Amino acid sequence: MQIKNYAITLPTAVALGAVSLLTACGGGGSSHPTAETTTSSAATQATSAVAVTQRDDSNWAGYLVASSATTKTSFSAVSGDWTQPAVDCVAGSGSHSAFWVGLGGYSGDHLEQTGTSADCSASGQASYSAWYELVPAAQVPVTMTVQPGDRMSAHVAVSGDTVTVSLADLTRHASFSKQLTMSSPTVSSAEWIAEAPSQCLSSASQDCHILSLADFGSVAFTSASASADGRTGSITSGLAPVSALTLEANPGFGRLYATAAQADASPGALSGNGSSFTVTWQRPQLQMPAPQVILSGPIYH
């Protein structure tokens, strides 16, 4: 299976409205349109002097810092830790989830990232894996045993056309690091994300749909930091405007058919120093009977 991660807005194959996907197929421009955007004070987010914009997103949940029209920022590195969650699997349908840190992808064509996955097969079996990806290239599996409860630490750095991805399982004392060359990496944002991947029937983005989000319970990100323009700091250190992304899955938004209501996920408040938060899976509230659609093709984050 191929997994790719980047975001652009494209129509669905069956005219069900715009679809916000992380895929490397064609087009460009801003991604992850917000159904609702509000700004909260730093005090509400338990941080100081930094406003946090609340945004709804079709398949990302977590935090990002991003360059804006008034605050131009070029990021050079991002780091973060998390504890690999266990997924609660039920036989009958597959579901997927991914946890990662990365640079770019929110408003650009390219995304440099590394992280882990926690998936459920249609038979109800859980599987866990590690990977890195430089969109638009395909996902590359990392040979590393990952199990629930493992403490993971990830780092992505960009210098010119050189990208360094590093992933460590601190519990098992295993690590991976690789330096790669990438044409024009995007460095306009830094992200700490829990995600519902997307699956595509072909290399065309209009053939993609967002998969059901696996029930991962919750995942806690810690030690979140980014580097930009010679400075390194936490999410709320003032490097760039901060957004909190809530995954609001909509059966008519990026899906061919809604066989059931899709799960959502939401980030909690940032810690006082802006380096920690928890993303929590949310149970679907509505069941919508419909003919089951069986699709095959590469999976995208």
161-170 core/surface letters (b: 16 or more CB in 10 A; e: else): eebbbbbbbe
Mean pLDDT for 23-50 is 41
Asked whether 280 and 240 are in contact (CB, 8 A), the reply is: no
The mean pLDDT of the chain is 79
Q: pLDDT band at 165, cuts 50/70/90?
A: very high
Tell me, what's the pLDDT at 130?
98
Could you read off the pLDDT of 254-296 as tens digits, one per residue? 333 333 457 899 999 999 999 999 999 998 765 454 444 455 5
Asked whether 131 and 140 are in contact (CB, 8 A), the reply is: yes
Tell me, what's the pLDDT at 250?
66
Pairing of the two strands 75-83 and 98-104: unpaired
Residue 20 pLDDT exceeds 50 = no
Q: pLDDT band at 47, cuts 50/70/90?
A: very low
Tell me, what's the pLDDT at 266?
96
Question: What tokens does 226 get?
Answer: 């980014």
Mean pLDDT for 104-114 is 89
Residue whose tokens read 């995208």: 300
Mean pLDDT for 121-130 is 97
Mean pLDDT for 204-218 is 79
d(CA 286, CA 142): 37
φ/ψ of 205, rounded to 5, equals -65, -30
Tell me, what's the pLDDT at 109?
80
User: Could you tell me which of 193, 173, 56, 181 has the C-alpha nearest to residue 113?
Assistant: 193
The amino acid occupying position 185 is P
Going by the DSSP 8-state scheme, the letter that residue 72 receives in this structure is -
E strands along 12-59, which residues? 18-22, 37-40, 52-57
User: Could you tell me which of 221, 233, 234, 238 has the C-alpha nearest to residue 277?
Assistant: 221
Q: 109 or 254: whose pLDDT is higher?
A: 109
Could you read off the pLDDT of 177-199 as tens digits, one per residue? 999 999 999 999 999 999 998 77
Going by the DSSP 8-state scheme, the letter that residue 142 receives in this structure is E
Q: Which of 130-139, 166-175, 179-188 is the least confident region?
A: 130-139
The 3-state DSSP class for residue 74 equals coil
Partners of residue 153 on adjacent β-strands? 81, 168
Q: pLDDT band at 107, cuts 50/70/90?
A: confident
Q: pLDDT band at 41, cuts 50/70/90?
A: very low
Going by the DSSP 8-state scheme, the letter that residue 207 receives in this structure is G
Tell me, what's the pLDDT at 202?
52
Residue 70 pLDDT exceeds 50 = yes
Asked whether 103 and 158 are in contact (CB, 8 A), the reply is: yes
The pLDDT > 90 percentage for the chain reads: 58
Q: 252 or 151: whose pLDDT is higher?
A: 151
Residue 243 pLDDT exceeds 50 = yes
User: Could you tell me which of 136, 107, 129, 111 has the C-alpha nearest to residue 245?
Assistant: 107
Partners of residue 198 on adjacent β-strands? 210, 300
